[in-house]
Amino acid sequence: QVHGLATPGGFISSTGVAGLTLGGGFGYLSRKRGLTVDNLCSVDLVTAAGELVRASADCNPDLFWGLKGGGGNFGVITSFEFDLHALGPDVLAGPVVHAFDDAPHVLREVTSLMRDAPDEVSCLPVLRHAPPAPFIPEAYHGRMILLLALIYAGDPDDAEAALAPLRGIGDPIADAVGIKPYTAFQSMFDASANAGARNYWKGHYFDALSGEAVDALCEHAARMTSKESVIGMLSLGGEIARWPAESAPYPHRNAAWVLNIQARWRDAVEDTRHITWARETFNAVAPFTTGGVYINFISGDEGTARVRAAYGGRIHDRLAALKGEWDPDNVFHLNQNIAPAVSATA
């Protein structure tokens, strides 16, 4: 950003580049610039055999393909090389906040507008308890709200007009959208992911965020068991959907929205209560989803079936064959594991 350049990153500035990238990677810039792996040029990694190898489109291309979403199954990455794109350093971005009672209506309007929004527009609606932020009226601190994190990642002259429809929905209680450094916006919600909490995540994809799904999410948000938990929904499409389906181990190119249910709390005694809430929310919206999941939104060991759902059968089988070639003994297994396929000649 010192040079006015960026590549798609996560939503929290402390997100590790390795985990983000190896799972596919998306964030505020993805509708305009694609997934993080769509911008990956090459990697250096240490293999299970202890060898240092390079992977790119021209060098070990099959391994390079597997690394663009196959997680930490193939080696220890020691360097990444990315494409960069002009951005900022200043952008029009920030949160618009609505009272929770208005959330069902506002979310319906948001989903309608995002169907035809320019690629430069990104919208991340979040159902959560209001933090004690200065831009939120004090009367709402600690209460459930709907927060829309908005950014325009294009020509600054077009930014105000492009974000106006989303900012004009309903009667927001706060609007802190303004010109600010991209780095300031990208780190704006870091406090929601500070160290020391216990976490349990569940995820879904939607072809469309229907009214029934919105109602189910709002109903379960009202039952949220921790003031640190959140339900986040990111608008997808744009450049993400233009890449071929099997250009990377990320078969969700046509999904319109991705959902992340984040249960977050401090006391281990309360594990069951908060995990149950996350699972119940997940199950309530399952009928309206694609059945797929983003590999980075799987918590702990949800089993091989859920890992397979992240990739689909054909891609998973290709990854398993690649695993058999590069890590036949499954040395790298403390992850969302892809078991190595046994070759016919073994």
For 159, the 3-state DSSP assignment is helix
Count how many residues are written for the chain. Answer: 346
Q: What confidence score (pLDDT) does residue 346 get? A: 47
pLDDT category at 106 given cuts 50, 70, 90 is very high
Q: Where are the strands (E) in 236-305, listed by range?
A: 257-265
**Average pLDDT value for residue range 223-246:** 96
Non-local CB neighbours of 90 within 8 Å, separated by 6+ positions: 156, 179, 180, 181, 182
Averaged pLDDT for residues 264-271: 97
**Nearest-5° angle of CA 51, CA 339, CA 75?**
25
Q: What integer pLDDT is reported at residue 343 of this predicted model?
A: 61
| Average pLDDT for the chain | 95
- Please state the pTM of the whole predicted model: 0.95
157 contacts: CB under 8 Å, gap ≥ 6: none
What's residue 245's pLDDT? 85
Alpha carbons 20 and 36: distance in angstroms, whole number: 8
Residues 200, 130 contacting (CB under 8 angstroms): no
- The band of 232, judged by pLDDT with boundaries at 50, 70 and 90, is very high
Strand partners, 121: 152
For 104, the token pair is: 């069902």
Task: Measure the CA–CA gap between 89 and 182, rounded to whole angstroms.
Answer: 6
Fold category of 5-86+312-326 in CATH = 3.30.465
Across-strand partners of 122?
Answer: 151
State the architecture of 90-297 in CATH terms: 3-Layer(aba) Sandwich (3.40)
For residue 246, what pLDDT is reported?
Answer: 87
The full set of domain ranges for the chain reads 5-86+312-326, 90-297
